Amino acid sequence: MLPGFSRCPIHTKQEKTIFHHSSKLQYPVRVEKPDPEFAMLLQQAIGGVEGEIRVAMQYFFQAMGARGDVRIKDLLISTATEELSHIEMLGHAVALNLEGAPLSYQEASAKDPGVNAILGGMNPRHILSSGLAALPVNANGMPFDMSHIYASGNVAADMLANVTAEATGRVLANRLYNLTEDKGMKDFLSFLIARDTMHQQQWLAVIEEMGGLDASLPIPNSFPQEEEAQEHAYYCLNTSLDKPLPKGRWSEGPAFDGRGEFSTKEQPEISGEEPLLGSARPGSGAQQEQIDCSMPPLKRLSPEGPFQRSDAQWERNLTLRGCGNVVIEKDAVRILLRVATTNGRRDYENSVANFFKQDRKGFRL
């Protein structure tokens, strides 16, 4: 049974699972010299995005949606339960660091006429809201709102999210360790750092149990690769105007999934059209000028015969005739045409019809 919180099955006519609580902590928590300011910093490990509430809730919700290998679900539940015990331990550490904190203006000002700036750097809510105890907030006093809980139902995606969560949690614990000289707090934080070490590798071990990272990629690995635009799957794209693409493992060599080779593109290939929306709908709350705008919709032209001219020739001809935003789809040999006119739909249709009287071979509106 895990000290702090533990999950114990209770067998009755119908098997049920509940949580039991041990009166003792998982690891000793001691404070040699209370430090209200450090108590405020410890709040990040409770209610911050790197904190224990986040990982506990993340693992619980992942477990509730984990289909397949029941061992993974049980591992998630066990680790979530351990993280609950860490919340209790950190809450106790916050309370111990708040021992002796000033409870009144007179008490604080007796030590410092300036009332130690803002009560010596402590969080005022530790007095006003909790009576010298921990809160479900981060170091800035912002409540944890569950917006950083990642539970996708895909075990491989969730395991990678868990590795990241444990990595950032371990970074936070390292920084807290360096921000205190209290031997008791350093000892307690070294324990949390060690547990983060295990949990990072524990989730990586789950991926290995599933065949390894190469077998898991791309996630989800269940999507049929033939339905993916594979020509865009393995190149690294440079979008910098003044620097070449940095070279590295990501720019050459076999992809991690074993299905392709990494390559690079120094310039994006622009194949899409300009994202124009046309007129606004009546009743949408737009200005009348937006609703009355006569910009025509996109017209699709389909081939009826052989396509003799090159893409460049068609684009040049259409441009010379005042037709803008020409997009030629090479494979389907189709042209999407938008004529920039402000004289109304009828004039637009007439202008297009007149144009194709001259070059209508192989096309119809």
Per-residue pLDDT at 334 = 37
Is the pLDDT score of 106 beyond 50?
no
pLDDT for the residue 4: 63
Please report, for residues 217, 230, 261, 265, the alpha-carbon distance to residue 258 in angstroms, rounded to integers and kept in the order given: 9, 13, 8, 20
Q: Which residue from 236, 235, 232, 260 is spatially nearest to 246, judged by alpha carbons? A: 236
Q: Is the pLDDT at 12 greater than 50, yes or no?
A: no
Predicted confidence (pLDDT) at residue 302 exceeds the cutoff of 90 = no
Higher local confidence (pLDDT), 104 or 296: 104
Predicted confidence (pLDDT) at residue 111 exceeds the cutoff of 70: no
Q: 292 falls in which pLDDT band (50, 70, 90)?
A: confident
CA distances to 5, 125, 178, 270 from 84, in Å? 7, 23, 24, 50
Query: Pick the residue with more confidence: 299 or 62?
Result: 62
> Taking 70 as the threshold, does the pLDDT of residue 321 lie above it?
no
Amino acid letter, residue 258: G
Residue 298: what pLDDT?
A: 45
Of residues 136 and 304, more confidence is placed in 136
Per-residue confidence band for 249, with pLDDT thresholds at 50, 70 and 90: very high
Q: Which residue has the tokens 């609950």?
A: 84
Q: How far apart are CA 243 and CA 236, in angstroms?
A: 14
* DSSP-derived secondary structure for 222-271: TS-GGGS-GGGSSEEEP--SSSPPPPSGGGSEE-TTSS-EEEEESS----
Element (H, E) at 273: none
| Complete DSSP assignment for 160-174 | HHHHHHHHHHHHHHH
Residue 299: pLDDT band (50, 70, 90) is very low
Q: Please name the amino acid found at residue 147.
A: S
Which residues 6+ apart lie within 8 Å of 176 measured at CB? 41, 42, 44, 45, 185, 189
Structural domains in the chain?
5-214 (1.20.1260.10), 230-265 (no CATH), 294-364 (3.30.70)
Residue 348 identity (one-letter amino acid): Y
Span 141-160, pLDDT tens digits: 999 999 999 999 999 999 99
Taking residues 75-104, what's their average pLDDT?
Answer: 91
Q: Are 251 and 264 in contact (CB under 8 A)?
A: yes
Where does the pLDDT of residue 346 fall: very low under 50, low under 70, confident under 90, or very high at 90 and above?
Answer: low
pLDDT tens digits for 200-246?
999 999 999 999 999 999 999 999 989 999 999 999 999 999 999 99
- Residue 303 φ/ψ, nearest 5 degrees: -75, 145
Please indicate, yes or no, whether the overall pTM of this predicted structure exceeds 0.75: no
At 279, the pLDDT band (50, 70, 90 cuts) reads confident
The predicted structure's pLDDT at residue 352: 54
pLDDT over threshold 70, residue 358: no
Q: Encoding tokens for residue 102?
A: 């000033």
Contact 8, 18 (CB under 8 A): yes
Q: How far is CA 201 from CA 61, 107, 197, 204, in A?
A: 20, 48, 7, 5
Report the pLDDT averaged over residues 105-109: 51
